[in-house]
Structure 1
Amino acid sequence: MTGSVDKDDVARVWKLIDDIDVCMFTSHDGAKLRSRPMSSHARQSENAIYFLTDVEGHKDQEVAANSEVVLSYAKPGSGKFLAVTGRARVLDDRVLIKDLWDKDAEAFWEGADDPKVRVIEVVPDEAQFWEGPHGVVATVQMVIAAATAMPPVMGDQRKVDLR
């Protein structure tokens, strides 16, 4: 981890979360890790990433037993990847649930007042992003690197402190 916080990198992380939206939410299931895709609701002003979840799911118990989680974001074909580590907790905050409610949530619950709906709040500790060329540009760079015996220029990657 670098010593200082780069505000541009912090803003870049939050923008990547907004742009990609769906992540693989990884939590501890005892000694095992369990991942599942979830739609995130990022709020940089609150330093939190929120997820709507069901009280009957395993995530609630997993987060209660071990709050450390990893959120893995990737945008296919874009060359954009992001991993966020943080601490999670489950909330039964009806106002927040209504505020986060969207059309996607309607596929899973009767409405924002459904008593089974909960919120998982993740407060991020750090992130690492990778953004680089993709498609034809990446292929050309790989060919040039192979021909010149030089490593390819594959874009930016950095660790970012979000605390």
Structure 2
Amino acid sequence: MSNDDTRDQDRVWDLMKKIGFAMLVTRDGDRLRARPMSAYLARDENMVYFLTDARHHKDEEIARSPQVNLSFADASSQKYVSITGTAAISNDRGKIRELFTTTAKAWWDSAEDPNIRLLRITPDDAEFWDSPGTVVSYVKMAAAAVTGTRPDVGDNRKVAM
């Protein structure tokens, strides 16, 4: 793996950590469904975890079609990451306890709630857009419009994970 590949992977993980929340997109029959989820990142495992509820339909959707998309967005700073990966549902109570945080307490009373499941996403590839920020981007776009050139509004890369 080249230094550029490693640097791009590092940037993907850094952006996901900074943003923290993702829209999880699953396939529900012929339709795509998206919902916001709080991400728990495990770079050393090449894994993105979520806590989910067995009473909802994500488990069934993932069992039928484990290919998912995670979309992380911070519009205020113009930073975005899209991950394609493979999902699996687990009832690993130890990992659930490890990941159970204040955010999770908004949905469940304790880590021992029998409805909590662990959603594991193994990233296959990613694409990120990393802009210097809204004001700088708008200035560059305005200058490009006046000069008839394309604006340089940051980095955009596809990354094998």
Shorter-chain TM-score tier:
over 0.9
RMSD: 1.3
1:63-74 to structure 2, matched below 5 A, reads 63-74=62-73
Equivalent position of 2:100 in the other structure: 101
For residues 139 and 133 of structure 1, the distance between their equivalents in structure 2, rounded to whole angstroms, comes to 10
Q: List aligned pairs for 1:47-58, cutoff 5 A.
A: 47-58=46-57
Classify the secondary structure of the residue corresponding to 1:77: helix
Structure 1 SS opposite 2:77:
coil
Task: Report SS of the residue matched to 1:6.
Answer: helix
Residues of 1 paired with 2:140 and 2:150: CA distance? 9
* Alignment of structure 1 residues 28-67 onto 2, 5 Å: 28-67=27-66
Instruction: State the alpha-carbon separation in 1 of the partners of residues 123 and 141 from structure 2.
Output: 34
Under a length normalisation based on structure 1, what TM-score does the superposition of the two structures give?
A: 0.95
TM-aligned CA deviation for residue 98 of structure 1: 0.4
Question: Which residue in 2 is equivalent to 1:148?
Answer: 147
Residue in 1 that maps onto 2:130: 131
1:135 shift after superposition: 2.6
Compare 120-129 and 71-80 and name the one that shifted more. 71-80
Structure 1: gaps of 5 or more residues: none
Q: Which runs of 5+ in 2 are unaligned?
A: none
Q: Provide the secondary structure at the position in 1 that maps to 2:114.
A: coil
State the shift of 1:138 in Å.
1.5
- One-letter amino acid of the counterpart of residue 129, structure 1: F
Report percent identity of matched pairs.
Answer: 43
TM-score (normalizing by structure 2): 0.96
Query: How many residues are treated as equivalent by the alignment?
Result: 160
The amino acid across from 1:127 in the alignment is A
Is 1:111–2:106 an aligned residue pair? no
Q: Which whole-Å CA distance do the structure 2 matches of 1:10 and 1:135 have between them?
A: 23
